[in-house]
Amino acid sequence: MKGKTKQLKKCESCNGLGEERGVFDWLVCMTCKGLGEVLETGEALTDEQIIDGLRAKNRYLQYVIRETRKHTDHLQQQLDNFIRHR
């Protein structure tokens, strides 16, 4: 289901939370299927679109984690060098 990215907007029913307050508990928002976002038309995304979006976000977060680790390793090396040369 890869292809053109659709424009999303915050779900008005749940105000982007993905949950709505029920009588006794919080419930998954039925308008956005718990995503917190809907299409520009106000329609919920299909399950396939949600899965593709979550996969893309997961890939991005994995990239951020990798880059953060690289940066952290570099900082650790600098700190070790600083301590050794004191």
Q: What is the pLDDT of residues 54-82, one digit of tens each?
A: 899 999 999 999 999 888 888 888 888 88
pLDDT over 70 (residue 28): yes
pLDDT over 50 (residue 1): no
Residue 53 region by backbone torsions, left for phi larger than 0, else alpha for psi between -120 and 50, else beta: alpha
pLDDT value of position 5: 58
CA-to-CA distance for 52 and 45, rounded, in angstroms? 10
Cβ-proximal residues to 10 (8 Å cutoff; 6+ apart), any chain: 16, 36, 37, 38
50 token code pair: 């949600």
Q: Could you tell me the pTM of the whole model?
A: 0.62
Helix boundaries (H) for the chain: 47-84
pLDDT value of position 18: 92
